Amino acid sequence: MPSPPDPSRRTGRRRPPLDGRRAAAVLLTLGLVGLAGLGAASATAATARACAAGATVIADVPWPQQRYDLRALSQITDGAGVTVAVVDSGVDAAHLQLSKAVRPGKDILGRQGNGRFDCVGHGTAVASIIAAAPVAGVGLRGLAPGASILPIRASERLEINGAVSGEGTVADVAAGIRAAVAARVQVINVSISTPGDDPRLRRAVDAALAADVVVVAAVGNQHERGDPTPYPAAYPGVIGVGAIGQNNQRVPTSQVGSYVSIVAPGESVIAAVPGRGHAVYHGTSFAAPFVAATAALIRSHDRSLSRAEVVHRLLATADPAPGERPSPEYGYGVLNPMRALTEIVPPLDSITQPAPAATTTPPMRPTTAGDAGRGSPMSLAVGLAAVLAFVAAGVAAVAAAVPVGRRRRWRPGRLEAPPGSVDLGLVPVTRDQVTRTSPRSTQRAI
């Protein structure tokens, strides 16, 4: 008998390969009926081979990868030493671009597999955005190709033209998050959402945050259905990710609310398909892994940063977006991995301390005859003495600096960060205009 309805849903859809066929609207969901022909104990090598249908290889460089200049990022770090858990439909470890990145994980649905196969394709697409290895003749490359992927198979829910099928519940997703924490990952990507605040999911997320894990979650694609509050994206401490298109505007289906922390590319995103090849995907499911990959880059580059500091760095370095900051549509702005890696950001405490009350500043008062000799010869003499002392100090500083400069042969020294700030040891970089390409399109500038 089918399990009772569970209104959770995964947050993205896939367009078939670029073969001229019209894309079917696919929305991945959680917790309704079982997928025909795939039992709970079918996580075998034969099943994995049967699920790997494959698709056309896309040689064009996707527009997000052009925007983020992955070659420049790789000069700083490629995410080596960091593991990102993908709590999803599993990940196809046989795909050429993922074979070296995917570790043995956990199969929550099958109870006996390692999550290294994917009959839906959703988790494989997400993982490839994070860690797909560069291959000659292929445009796709993950933002953090040196990172490891821990596949957690927790849901295969599908909604196709209104018909829902597949297995997986909110309890399965919660178990997947707990499994990722037990495996000591540094980042968790959850491209799944449910409109209900389930205590099991909340406890799992709380455990991840307490373990210093960065949790990234898609905010969902239900804007046209009234923006139901998405969990786990809406939990405190989780980075909720919305989707933008190539024009930097919010994708119309991307949800709006206080749970949106940041936005990233989520329209016409090229990602891997189980077996071989690629397809074009849409939705916040595929925006979230760009943020998860950037979190992996940050943690790889500076292992000393805490979860809260990584989140702070991601949000503080986001590019401006329309509206206030933060806004319900765009959160703190548009993800910028290069800025997140290289800029000196304000200390974390600087944004958590409340602003002093306005009454703490003494009010201005008019000058009275009782003021101590303002404008008198004595006050003028005191002021002149202060100016002379300041000039003398400046001359002394220059005199001290000249011998140091000669010893250094006038080479510049390293820029020191302000006290208390997070400094990754690199010169701040600003992002200039870049040119990008979408599949089958001509180049257009941002």
CATH of residue 177's domain is 3.40.50.200
Is residue 371 in a domain? no
Rounded-to-integer distance, Cα 236 and Cα 216, Å: 11
Which pLDDT does position 443 carry in this prediction? 27
From 92, 118, 122, 282, the catalytic residue:
122
CA 167 to chain CA centroid, Å, is 27
| DSSP code per residue over 307-319 | HHHHHHHHHHTPB
Q: What are the two backbone dihedrals, phi and then psi, of residue 165, each rounded to the nearest 5 degrees?
A: -150, 170
62-76 burial string, b = 16+ CB within 10 Å, else e? bbbbbbbebeebbeb
Does 151 score more than 90 pLDDT?
A: yes
Q: What angle, 0 to 180 degrees and rounded to 10, lies between the N-to-C axes of helices 170-182 and 199-210?
A: 20
Rounded-to-integer distance, Cα 434 and Cα 243, Å: 20
Domain that holds residue 222: 8-348+427-445
Contacts of 129 (CB under 8 A, 6+ apart): 142, 143, 269, 271, 286, 289, 290, 293
Sort strands 239-244 and 148-153 into parallel, antiparallel or unpaired. unpaired
Q: What are the two backbone dihedrals, phi and then psi, of residue 264, each rounded to the nearest 5 degrees?
A: -150, 170
Is residue 410 in a domain? no
Q: Is 300 a catalytic residue?
A: no
pLDDT tens, position by position, 65-79: 999 999 999 999 999
From 78, 88, 107, 118, the catalytic residue:
88
Is residue 247 in a domain? yes
Q: What is the SS3 assignment for 386?
A: helix
Domain count of the fold of the chain: 1
Is residue 312 in a domain? yes
Is residue 115 in a domain? yes
Is residue 401 in a domain? no
From 89, 155, 285, 300, the catalytic residue:
285
Q: For residue 124, give the H/E element and its range.
A: helix 122-131
Is residue 395 in a domain? no
Q: Is 312 a catalytic residue?
A: no
* pTM of the entire predicted model: 0.72
C-alpha count within 13 angstroms, C-beta hemisphere, residue 56: 14
Q: What is the SS3 assignment for 181?
A: helix
Is residue 153 in a domain? yes
pLDDT tens, position by position, 77-120: 999 999 999 999 999 999 999 999 999 999 999 877 899 999 99
Which pLDDT does position 158 carry in this prediction? 74
pLDDT tens, position by position, 5-39: 343 445 555 444 333 222 222 334 442 222 212 22
Rounded-to-integer distance, Cα 229 and Cα 50, Å: 36
Query: What single-letter DSSP state applies at residue 6?
Result: -
pLDDT tens, position by position, 293-348: 999 999 999 999 999 999 999 999 999 999 899 999 999 999 999 999 999 998 88
Which pLDDT does position 297 carry in this prediction? 98
Name the nearest CA neighbour of 208 among 188, 234, 233, 228.
188
Which pLDDT does position 393 carry in this prediction? 52
Cβ–Cβ < 8 Å for 127, 147: no
Look up residue 61 and give its two tokens. Answer: 């460089």
Q: What is the SS3 assignment for 113?
A: coil
Q: Is 128 a catalytic residue?
A: no
Whole-angstrom CA distances from 97 to 123, 133, 311, 428 are: 14, 5, 28, 32
Name the nearest CA neighbour of 158 among 255, 52, 35.
35
